[in-house]
Chains A and B, each alone.
Chain A
Amino acid sequence: MSSETPGASAAAPAADAPATPPGKPSGGPRAVRRTWGGGLFASELGVLFRRRRTWAMLGTLAAIPILIAVAVRVSSAVPAGRGPAFLDRITQNGLFVGVTAMLVSVPLFLPLTVGVVAGDTVAGEAGLGTLRYLLVAPAGRVRLLLVKYGGAAVFAVVAPLVVALVGAGIGASLFPVGPVTLLSGDAIGAGEALLRLLLIAAYLAVSLLGLSAIGLFMSTLTDVPVGAMASTVVLSVVSQVLDALPQLEWLHPWLFSHYWLDFADLLRQPVAWDSFATNAVLQAGYVAVFGALAYGRFVTKDVLS
């Protein structure tokens, strides 16, 4: 089909190209070597983060910890053990705003935003018609797919980070910050607590990589970005519903959302790394499977948009 395996034509030798016709819009000599460089990746991030939609989604995510913090601040003390986990600890330690906000955003908000970005990757370009211009540039189908996944992965890292950092920030400004009590009852200093917060954000970022790969594959199936986004988000909901059905217990360890809420293992003393490792392996499996599917689909796809 119409793509080449990476490196198969690693260079367009200058000698191969006939002399540049004079008087053309030329800005310099033709590049001799093909670069895999970050040019396209940087451009991809530029496009992603120059969209108003991206900022709207990040803003929504940032609003979650702010809403939680303000609600706790203006209301009376939360009785212990009520509401989402950690909510009752916020008044004692503002850093828990970040943890609570991440907990709250795991089931819907994070998958939703990541689903939108991942579902938009290829289908969005197809919908705009820009996909054909990227391909005749030529971006290379494999390279484009990798860059697209890279962009979605960066968003998957940024999204939980925004929740964590905004949460820690608003928490620190509205509530006292001090030693943080872990689930095991041990206390750690605020510095290490911030580190744990970042670890949780990393855990969630890893958790969302599998979903991003699913979104990428969905995105290669259609030219309608909304369809790819919706099906990705729906899949994340379906996965969570299946995970809640005890009748399907055999299936649970294979669901990409199964370990999403196990980030609490990072709040134990000592840190229980098992779930982090298991989750990472599971997500890597999803990335491999859906990456391969996306590859198969995208390099054989007729770009007709």
Chain B
Amino acid sequence: MTAVAHTTELSIETTGLSKRFGRQLAVDGIDLAVPTGSVFGFLGPNGSGKTTTIRLMLGLSAATAGSVRLLGREMPRHLHEVLPRVGALVEGPAFYPFLSGAANLHRFDAADPHVPAATRKARVRDALDRVGLSHAADKKVRAYSLGMKQRLGIANALLAPRELLVLDEPTNGLDPQGTREVRSLVRSLAEDGVTVFVSSHLLAEVEQICTHAAIMSAGRLVAQGTLAELRQAGQARLRVLTPDAGAAAQVLVGLGLTVDGATPAGRSRPTGDGPARDASGSDGDVLYAPLRAGSGDGGVPPEAVVAALVAAGVRVRGFATEQVSLEERFVALTGEGFDVVQ
């Protein structure tokens, strides 16, 4: 986990934030740091505590322990100063089905006592325009599709000029076209200088639009930083393709490495369908061994490993050092083998 330097201005900062429901710890002491101006991906499998964290951030629910600062002010103490500058989509859109899209936005805008009523009409129109719902403005929300509701939810977050947007699964239920539109919307907002905090269980989404990301697993924050940092933080590893798996493993262990697993050709690795398997063919087993990144402190240089293997008479049919993909890292960190859509 890379600590974000505290010299940067932070739009969201949580310290030891925890939330307990009964005996279950839904959020377990997380320290989020979302730099101002970033597009921050909040990654995690369903049920990992992302939405609960967002609720705590927005003052919808009270933290069991820890604190939240939003736009530099403590929450929920300064809720009334902070929230007017924050647009949010929390756990999917929710509207009055018997009201039109525009009427729904009027309702939520009226709930904010800080915005002028005189400009309400224009702002609602602009927001609908921005998400491409102008044609359906007067249609009852009851008749909206899930994607339209999702867009209306984003429009609601854009009703007033915001400094921070918190979007919880903004592309849920959108078709590929809608997903693309949302992504470009987020990008254009980011260009305007708005900090965007996007939660998602889709890695691809985060990889495409985010500058930063954090990964949640079972209520804990397991990694956060820029995308580049996250990728690098993953340890490089050795990949050895050999028919002499047993001997090779002994050599690797002898060098102080830990062998992740010897996968017979054709069988999948326990952590998922790694790309290495395809190459293995029937040539033997594939061995993986993490290579400590800073090879200075007791790390073994790869060339030394090859030399040792060869010296031990191991038939090395393939040898590579590979960097872990963000996806594998995500999977490794969260320990979940779920659908990571490309």
Contacts and interface: CB of A to CB of B under 8 A. Distances in A.
Contacts of B81: 9, 12, 16
A274 interface: no
A29 B160 CA distance: 10
B62 A300 contact: yes
B147 interface: no
A138 B83 contact: yes
B90 A39 contact: no
B116 A28 contact: yes
A26 B161 CA distance: 5
Given A24-B192, A42-B110, A136 B86 contact: yes
Given A1-B62, A34-B80, A139 B161 contact: no
A128 B108 CA distance: 13
Contacts of B122: 27-28
B119 A137 contact: no
A133 B90 contact: yes
Contacts of B114: 12, 30-31, 34
Interface in A202-233: none
Contacts of B94: 128-130, 132-133
Contact of A25 (B84, B85, B97, B158): B158
Contacts of B5: none
Interface residues of A, number: 53
A85 to B, nearest CB: 39
B60 A50 contact: no
A135 interface: yes
A76 B79 CA distance: 67
Contacts of A133: 88, 90, 94, 108, 111, 156
A21 B194 CA distance: 7
Given A1-B76, A26-B123, A303 B110 contact: no
A134 B111 contact: yes
B50 to A, nearest CB: 14
Contacts of B207: none
A287 B192 CA distance: 49
Nearest to B192: A21
Contact of B83 (A25, A137, A143, A144): A137
Interface in A1-50: 1-4, 8-9, 12, 16-18, 20-31, 34-37, 39-40, 42-43, 46-47, 50
A28 B94 CA distance: 26
Interface string B57-79: 01111100000000000001111
B330 to A, nearest CB: 27
A169 interface: no
A24 B162 contact: yes
Which among A36, A37, A137 has the greatest number of chain B C-beta atoms within 10 A?
A137
A42 to B, nearest CB: 7
B192 A139 contact: no
Contact of A2 (B61, B106, B110): B61
A23 B58 CA distance: 25
A51 B160 CA distance: 27
Given A2-B62, A9-B81, A47 B96 contact: yes
B95 A4 contact: no
Contacts of A140: 80, 113
B79 A31 contact: no
**Residue with the greatest number of chain A CB neighbours at <10 A, chosen from B97, B116, B120, B158:** B116
Contacts of B61: 2, 302-304
B332 to A, nearest CB: 31
Contact of A136 (B58, B95, B113, B193): B58
B127 A137 contact: no
Nearest to A12: B81
Nearest to A41: B110
A139 B109 CA distance: 9
A67 B189 CA distance: 60
A19 to B, nearest CB: 9
Nearest to B153: A133
Contact of A9 (B78, B93, B96, B159): B78
Q: Please list the 4 inter-chain residue pairs (A to B) with the smallest Cβ-Cβ separation, ordered nearest first.
A: A129-B94, A27-B123, A27-B119, A137-B111
Given A24-B192, A136-B58, 4 more contacts: A24-B161, A25-B158, A133-B90, A139-B113
27 contacts: A2-B60, A2-B79, A4-B76, A4-B79, A12-B114, A21-B163, A21-B193, A25-B123, A25-B127, A25-B158, A26-B160, A30-B84, A30-B115, A30-B161, A31-B113, A31-B116, A52-B98, A130-B108, A133-B90, A133-B94, A135-B58, A135-B59, A136-B60, A136-B83, A136-B86, A137-B83, A140-B80
